[in-house]
Amino acid sequence: MEKGHTIPILGQGYVRYIDHLGTDLRIVEAARISYKSPSKGVEQDKKLLLYLYKHRHTSPFEQCSITYNIKMPIFIMRQFVRHRTFRLNEWSGRYSELADEFYVPGQWRAADAKNKQGSQVSASLDHAALTKEVKASNDAAYATYQNLLKQGVAKELARMVLPVSIFTEVYVNCDLHNLVHFLQLREDDHAQLEIRELGAAMRQVAENLFPWTFEAYHKYRLTISEKPQDG
């Protein structure tokens, strides 16, 4: 995969591949140190990696990592930063003027009657009218922001009038074990659609770099109902 490869997400957002460390073989090599045993060929190496994944021998997967540059709305960033093992740096609204870019969903969803964490596109919503109303509200908020800046208010304060749908940007590095953990939680259908779209793009990059690991992911991934309880 070319460095800089960019996958568009969530309107004006994206997931961009910066670089990575390791390969599927690195994971196998790291695991084989336990017995100081050499590789027994590609087929056996792949078999070992699938075994490690299936039986949750997770530490060899921590030998590999990926760095992404991600642009996403702040309300998705709030979910993203709950993953404490990610190492990240964010664009600062204290030091730079934030851009006039807001996430507006293509279709509006109503709360799901059965799954209380879910939502569904609803025919009873007036999609065009909602989009118009939200865009007008974003424009008004951004105009207030600009007006505060013009009057000399510091960027760190002026930004408080902006909605959480405004885009932010991060550089994030995560090891493969914790990336897979994140994807299991955030590609699950209990997670919000927007973070699922972000997760799918991150996986698309990772799958290219670590094909055996993601073969194991698809084969053995757990759904949220099978996992230990989390928030």
Ligand X SMILES: Cc1cc2nc3c(=O)[nH]c(=O)nc-3n(C[C@H](O)[C@H](O)[C@H](O)COP(=O)(O)OP(=O)(O)OC[C@H]3O[C@@H](n4cnc5c(N)ncnc54)[C@H](O)[C@@H]3O)c2cc1C
Look up 196 and say whether it is catalytic: no
219, 128, 154, 227: which is closest to 186 by C-alpha?
227
Nearer to ligand X (CB atom), residue 85 or residue 119: 85
Among 98, 191, 202, 216, contact with ligand X (rule: CB under 6 A) = 191
Per-position x/- string for 52-91, each x denoting binding to ligand X as judged by CB under 6 A, each - no binding:
------------------------------xxxx------
Torsional class of 14: left (φ above 0), alpha (ψ -120 to 50), beta (otherwise): beta
Per-position x/- string for 111-130, each x denoting binding to ligand X as judged by CB under 6 A, each - no binding:
------x-------------
Q: How far apart are CA 173 and CA 191, in angstroms?
A: 22
Please identify, among the stretches 60-68, 135-143, 178-186, 198-206, the one whose residues bind ligand X according to the rule CB under 6 A.
178-186
Question: Residue with CB nearest ligand X?
Answer: 231
Nearer to ligand X (CB atom), residue 82 or residue 87: 82
64, 57, 9: which is closest to 206 by C-alpha?
64
Q: How far apart are CA 207 and CA 199, in angstroms?
A: 12
- Which position among 186, 196, 203, 221 bears the catalytic label? 186
Q: Does 190 bind ligand X (CB under 6 A)?
A: yes
Give the binding-site size for ligand X (rule: CB under 6 A): 13
Q: How far apart are CA 79 and CA 33, in angstroms?
A: 36
Nearer to ligand X (CB atom), residue 186 or residue 203: 186
Buried b (16+ CB within 10 A) or exposed e, 89-101: eeeebeeeebeeb
Measured N-to-C along each axis, helices 176-186 and 211-220 cross at an angle, to the nearest 10 degrees, of 40
CB of 223 to ligand X, least distance (A): 11
Q: Does 2 bind ligand X (CB under 6 A)?
A: no
CB of 190 to ligand X, least distance (A): 4
Q: Does 202 bind ligand X (CB under 6 A)?
A: no
**How many other CB atoms are found less than 10 A from the CB of residue 152?**
7
Work out whether strand 6-9 and strand 109-111 pair parallel, antiparallel, or are unpaired: unpaired
- When computed from its CA atoms, the radius of gyration of the chain, rounded to whole angstroms, is 21
Provide the binding-site residues for ligand X, judged by CB under 6 A. Answer: 82-85, 117, 178, 181, 185-186, 190-191, 230-231
Residues annotated as catalytic are 186
